[in-house]
Structure formats: structure tokens, C-alpha cells
A = this chain, B = another copy of it.
Amino acid sequence: MNIDFINPFIDAVSDVLITMAVLQCNPEKAVSKQEFEDQGDVIQGDVTGIVGMVGDQFKGFVAISFTAPVALGIAERMLGEELETIDETITDLVGELTSMIAGGAKLRLSEQNCEFGMATPLVVVGDCHRIFLSVKGGSSVIPFSTEVGDFFIEMYFGPVN
């Protein structure tokens, strides 16, 4: 996948998490999901924010997957209180973060003359769920490390039809 699509999301994640949770994120190298899985790695999220994106030339989605401890850790930093379970407070926060990250990336892509409309974000909750994509070329994975733990962005952009 074109690097032009990846950097806007890396920048948006870093911006949103430093602003909203005073959390420094260190992005690792983006790799294709195939390459990621060939290394024996697997993304199993407990909470995942997903949003579809549609432009004139390209369409795709971005999914931000957190384990429960990382989602709780980020939420604690945002709310300043201790949290123990993945409840509506967490799903609302993950939905909000997903929306802000996709919105930030959309703005950056627009500056590259690449316009996208954003679908409505949704949040999937369930122990160790995984995401699959049956599109030629497959998706890209960007791992992020933070002091509350690691999380992953999975994204795909391809031509419209």
C-alpha cells in the first residue's frame, strides 16, 4: 500500500493520543499484514475501533485494535480515574479516538489532494477478536508502542472499483 496513506495515520495517532491522553506513541515500521503474520505475529484485539473511508479514487478502512489492558490504560489517562472493565465508557472513548484519528488523517490526506468521506465509526468488543480482509494486496499493519502497552493500526486503501 502507498506510503502516502500510511504517514497521515501515523501522525494522526500520535497527535490524538498526546493531546487526549498525554501519551507518547512510538510507531514501528509499517508492514503488510501478510509479512506481519509470516513473522508469527497476530493482532488479537479486545476492543477495536473501525471506520470505513471512501474517496473519489480510493476507498478503504482503518481499524485500531487494543488489548483490554491498553484500552483501560489509555482511558485512565484520559479520564484520570482507575477503570477495570471494558464498559460503555471505554467503547465511547475508543469510538471517539477512532473518529478523531480518522478525521485527522482525512485532513492530512486532503492536504495531499486526496479527499475522503468518513463512514460512521463503530467499536467491536470481544476477547481476542481478529480482522480479516479478502482483498487482493491485503492490508497494512502499524504497531505502536506506548508506556501503557502496544496497540495496532490495520488499514487498507485500494482503488474504487
Write the residues of chain A forming the contact surface with B, with a CB cutoff of 8 angstroms: 44, 48, 50-55, 59-61, 63, 88, 91-92, 95-96, 117-135, 156-158, 160
Contacts and interface: CB of A to CB of B under 8 A. Distances in A.
A160 B123 contact: no
B118 A54 contact: yes
A132 B59 contact: no
B117 A59 contact: yes
B122 A131 contact: yes
A50 B52 CA distance: 9
A122 B59 CA distance: 12
Secondary structure of the A side of the interface?
Answer: strand
A158 B120 CA distance: 8
A120 to B, nearest CB: 5
Contacts of A59: 117-120
B132 A91 contact: yes
Contacts of A134: 91-92, 95-96, 121, 123
A129 B59 CA distance: 26
27 contacts: A48-B124, A50-B52, A51-B52, A52-B53, A52-B119, A52-B120, A54-B118, A59-B117, A60-B120, A91-B134, A92-B134, A95-B133, A120-B156, A120-B157, A120-B158, A121-B133, A121-B134, A122-B131, A122-B156, A123-B131, A123-B134, A124-B124, A125-B129, A125-B130, A125-B131, A125-B132, A126-B130
